[in-house]
């Protein structure tokens, strides 16, 4: 009787342990999803009034919010001020927010830089361009990744850059790249417009010298969205049946490409709400968006726990 009772109790303990572990990860997932939503809700709120670049010489409310989020995660965080052209005869000051996680393995490779621009078209608190997909979606994902990677294996340092003045001409990314040694950077991953439309498509545009990283991407389970991979602007144009947009130059990854730094760009391509006041959080299918963020997160976690040649 005692022996059987012991077996029953042990079996019950294993069941309890499985349930507890499942509950823990479910709670962690829900907390992360909640924070992702909260970040997007904040960045698209009337208080942030469309996140315009260069309105003041000091970081705006959006830049301060991102800085505080990074700092709260105990990342080494700093502002990077830069001048940019604002019209024919005027200049303004933009502010990148840069946060770094160090390598935590014995042998470390070159730096991984993850970018997302946080600026948008501005407006007034009563009438503004919220820029939910463009690009609160990428900025919120950047913050999500910073929290996630904090507790993961990292065989290289990871620099998170929330760039400013992208809408004005990629000025924040250009300045950031101008201040670093290109050979110290293994790869740029750029996040710009990540919430799928009704077509449920996500595009991955990549430069040369990313084959090993892409091989890791292709080992991931098939996502619940239509993933399309392009190795040139021309292939992207054919995929979208739209020759007007040069996706190689369309976002911050171009600043890295000009410096011959390999890049992988994630985005959903065209959105009918792009640069309109309809680009709000209510127009986003948050469940689809969360799937995209999870997929990108899984890719980067695996990349940072892979042999160092993975980003060659």
pLDDT digits (tens, 9 = 90+) for 24-82: 444 444 556 799 999 999 999 999 999 999 999 999 999 999 999 999 999 999 999 99
Asked whether 94 and 53 are in contact (CB, 8 A), the reply is: yes
pTM of the model: 0.90
Two tokens, residue 271: 């959105």
User: Is pLDDT above 60 for 301?
Assistant: yes
| Euclidean distance between CA atoms 142 and 162, whole angstroms | 8
Asked whether 167 and 120 are in contact (CB, 8 A), the reply is: yes
Asked whether 50 and 126 are in contact (CB, 8 A), the reply is: no
Range 155-162 average pLDDT: 98
Asked whether 127 and 277 are in contact (CB, 8 A), the reply is: yes
């Amino acid at each position: 009787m005692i022996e059987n009772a012991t077996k029953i109790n042990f079996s019950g303990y294993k069941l309890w342990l499985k349930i507890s572990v499942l509950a823990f990860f479910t709670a962690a997932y829900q907390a992360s999803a909640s924070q992702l939503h909260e970040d997007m809700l904040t960045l698209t709120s009337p208080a942030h009034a469309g996140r315009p670049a260069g309105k003041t010489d000091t970081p705006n409310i959006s830049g301060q919010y991102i800085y505080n989020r990074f700092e709260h995660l105990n990342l080494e965080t700093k502002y990077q001020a830069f001048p940019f052209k604002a019209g024919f005869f005027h200049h303004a000051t933009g502010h990148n927010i840069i946060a770094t996680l160090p390598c935590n393995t014995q042998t470390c490779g070159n730096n991984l830089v993850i970018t997302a621009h946080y600026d948008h078209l501005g407006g007034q608190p009563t009438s503004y361009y919220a820029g939910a997909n463009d690009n609160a979606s990428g900025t919120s994902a950047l913050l999500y990744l910073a929290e996630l990677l904090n507790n993961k294996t990292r065989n290289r340092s990871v620099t998170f850059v929330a760039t400013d003045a992208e809408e004005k001409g990629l000025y924040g990314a250009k300045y950031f790249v101008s201040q670093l040694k290109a050979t110290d950077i293994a790869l740029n991953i750029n996040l710009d417009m990540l919430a799928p439309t009704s077509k449920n498509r996500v595009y991955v545009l990549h430069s040369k010298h990313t084959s090993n990283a892409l091989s890791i991407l292709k080992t991931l389970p098939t996502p619940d969205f239509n993933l399309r991979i392009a190795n040139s602007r021309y292939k992207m144009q054919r995929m979208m049946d739209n020759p007007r947009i040069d996706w190689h130059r369309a976002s911050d990854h171009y600043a890295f490409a000009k410096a011959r730094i390999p890049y992988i760009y994630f985005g959903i391509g065209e959105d009918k709400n792009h640069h309109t006041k309809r680009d709000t959080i209510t127009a986003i299918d948050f469940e689809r968006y969360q799937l995209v963020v999870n997929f990108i997160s899984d890719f980067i976690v695996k990349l940072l726990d892979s042999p160092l040649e993975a980003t060659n």
